[in-house]
């Protein structure tokens, strides 16, 4: 198997690469600005680097062609969503996992709602809603991950999943948990298809993240 990680130079991109290299036999394509330089420590027989921009369709096509799935380790905007949809269709790659944020559908509720909206604004009035719509209207086998406030803790990779239309109450989740779950979506261990998911850390229906 071969998977492409786009925006691979960020923390979640790197953690996803780490997880897949350690826990699978898959080959990886790592894509991003100056990826070959910034991710030089990942060089090896199983890794290919593609330097490029998520808004450049031909560069995205080069990265994803011949892969079995794609993870975008970055919150997708409408422009990027359009580029991804067109690029994957052109090279006939079907599996796509992308990141977004909660409250696109006014679903954040419970004790976390007030703090979240105070610190993020009214998310459903931003272009991020349009980006999710573009992915959902494609024919791709997509999963959108609406991901709450992030922190690092390699010892905590548990994930609580909610479906689109269900209340979202989780105040936090680790980057390691996001990377592991995205990896499992690529490999098929996590069995979700054409799904728009809220993901958070279990038992964190708090007024705010623990690190604030």
pLDDT per residue as tens digits for the range 77-87: 999 999 999 99
Residue 103 counted as domain residue: yes
Q: pTM of the full predicted structure? A: 0.97
Q: Which domain holds residue 93?
A: 2-200
Q: Contact, 171 vs 119, CB < 8 A? A: no
Provide the pLDDT confidence category of residue 71 given band limits of 50, 70 and 90. very high
Q: Contact, 192 vs 143, CB < 8 A? A: yes
Domain CATH code at residue 14 = 3.40.50.720
Name residues whose C-beta falls within 8 Å of residue 63's C-beta, 6 or more positions apart in sequence: 4, 6, 29, 31, 50, 52
Query: Considering its fold, how many domains does the chain have in total?
Result: 1
CA angle (52 as vertex; 46, 57 as ends), nearest 5: 110
Residue 179 counted as domain residue: yes
Q: What is the mean pLDDT of residues 184-188?
A: 98
Residue 208 counted as domain residue: no
pLDDT per residue as tens digits for the range 93-149: 999 999 999 999 999 999 999 999 999 999 999 999 999 999 999 999 999 999 999
Report the alpha-carbon distance of residue 29 to residue 70 in Å, rounded.
9
What are the start-end ranges of the E strands in the chain? 2-6, 27-32, 47-51, 69-75, 95-100, 141-147, 150-151, 160-163, 173-174, 195-200
Residue 97 counted as domain residue: yes
Residue 173 counted as domain residue: yes
């Amino acid at each position: 198997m071969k998977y492409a990680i786009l925006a691979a130079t960020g923390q979640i991109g790197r953690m996803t690469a780490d997880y897949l290299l350690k826990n699978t036999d898959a080959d990886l394509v790592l894509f991003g600005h100056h990826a070959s330089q910034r991710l030089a420590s990942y060089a090896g027989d199983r890794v290919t680097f593609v330097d490029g921009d998520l808004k450049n369709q031909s560069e995205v096509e080069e990265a994803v062609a011949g892969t079995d799935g794609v993870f975008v380790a970055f919150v997708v905007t409408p422009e990027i969503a359009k580029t991804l949809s067109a690029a994957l269709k052109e090279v006939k790659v079907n599996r796509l996992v992308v990141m977004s944020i909660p409250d696109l559908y006014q679903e954040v509720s419970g004790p976390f709602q007030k703090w979240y909206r105070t610190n993020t604004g009214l998310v459903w009035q931003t272009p991020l809603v349009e980006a999710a719509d573009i992915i959902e209207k494609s024919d791709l086998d997509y999963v959108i991950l609406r991901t709450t406030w992030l922190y690092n803790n390699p010892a905590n990779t548990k994930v609580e999943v909610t479906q689109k239309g269900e209340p979202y109450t989780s105040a936090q989740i680790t980057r390691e948990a996001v990377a592991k779950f995205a990896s499992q979506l690529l490999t098929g261990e996590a069995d979700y298809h054409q799904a728009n998911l809220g993901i958070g850390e279990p038992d964190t229906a708090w007024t705010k993240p623990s690190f604030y």
